[in-house]
Amino acid sequence: MIVNNLESLKELIEKVKASQEKYATFSQEQVDKVFKKASIAANSARIQLAKMVVKETGMGIVEDKVIKNHFASEIVYNKYRDSKSCGVIELDESYGFQKIAEPLGIIAGIVPTTNPTSTAIFKALLSLKTRNAIIFSPHPRAKKSTIEAAKIILEAAIKAGCPEHIIGWIDEPTIELSQALMQHPDIKLILATGGPGMVKAAYSSGHPSLGVGSGDTPAVIDKTADIKTAVSSIILSKTFDNGMICASEQAVIVEDKIYESVRGEFQERGAYFVTAEEREKLGKTIIINGKLNVAIVGQPVSKIAEIAGIKIPEGTKVLIGEIEKVGYEEPFSYEKLSPILGMYRGNNFEEAVERRNGTSFRRYRHKV
């Protein structure tokens, strides 16, 4: 069936609910078999899914998306394969209590365009491990990739004995359908990964929700740091999948005593510090009408520089803007989801930490 309107969504939820009620009766042995087969199928498809994502969205790096898909499938499986998730999972006869695991029912999975397959994979696998069903609402720009990942896991789960509709999805996602899914009375939990607006909508749905919005992760480098390791780690983080991981650093605050040393190390490792004029042009490219410019998300620095109308040295890995302000008027203090970094100076460690706390100036985000 094709889910593209409220009526077809209602029909899907009914089918998924019936499948979940059957799956809730499965034993631990049956569940673990499903979990294993689904994980293997997802991991086997990690390369084709990575290629599909980059082709569909035009964002990120294939090789890095392969790693994310691998982590979401095999690493997640290895983490939870021996965990009990059915019936009595803990018994303490001394204190006379038991812990009993029961499924919730149907989970709504909101999936972002930045990680459309890896997010779908781990949410589907965790749902299967806990005898829950899940219905995905993909991002419109990445719907084919998300749906393909869901199909691969569903087919493997069915072959392992799972009911037919244990995983579902919206084929033509819209804001209306996403909200209808999240607000439906048969939805027992929402796993929302996306922008602040989507996370806020999940928390406002009336159902229990686990939301992951913007990251805006700041990092402090003080005089006790191993400068080479710190700078290398930040560059690796900012260049992985072209900076689309929401946990990657968005700003770095450097203690004054080592500022020039850190700056030099960044340059040595391929970072380019934009001039004041270039920073102005790049800032107008990062934020347009108060929102992140989607044209730069997950793009290489060469393309971002071209969009901004600035020239950068060949081989540049990261663009860095040296800034002082934090807030809506400073584009470099936003989450940028690209290989762009804001760099601040702190007179001492205490000031650097205070500045670090101020970089997360918007709501509905998480810190690492």
- Show which residues are catalytic: 246
Q: Per residue in 61-82, is it b (16+ CB within 10 Å) or e — as a string?
A: beebbbbbbbebbbebbeebee
Report the alpha-carbon distance of residue 338 to residue 245 in Å, rounded.
9
Contact residues for 340 (Cβ-Cβ < 8 A; gap 6+): 238, 243, 282, 286, 296, 301, 304, 318, 319, 320, 321, 332
**Backbone dihedral angles phi then psi of residue 288, each to the nearest 5 degrees:** -125, 125
Contact residues for 28 (Cβ-Cβ < 8 A; gap 6+): 84, 85, 86, 87
Report the alpha-carbon distance of residue 149 to residue 46 in Å, rounded.
9
**Backbone dihedral angles phi then psi of residue 221, each to the nearest 5 degrees:** -115, 110
Report the alpha-carbon distance of residue 215 to residue 161 in Å, rounded.
39
Nearest alpha-carbon partner for 320 in 306, 301, 297, 303:
301
Q: Which residue type does 18 have?
A: A
Contact of 125 with 152, CB cutoff 8 Å: no
Strand, coil or helix: 108: strand
Residue at token pair 């205070």: 354
Contact of 167 with 153, CB cutoff 8 Å: yes
Report the alpha-carbon distance of residue 362 to residue 334 in Å, rounded.
9
Strand, coil or helix: 206: coil
**Backbone dihedral angles phi then psi of residue 32, each to the nearest 5 degrees:** -65, -35
The strand order across the sheet containing 271-273 reads 217-221, 249-255, 340-346, 318-322, 271-273
Contact of 319 with 340, CB cutoff 8 Å: yes
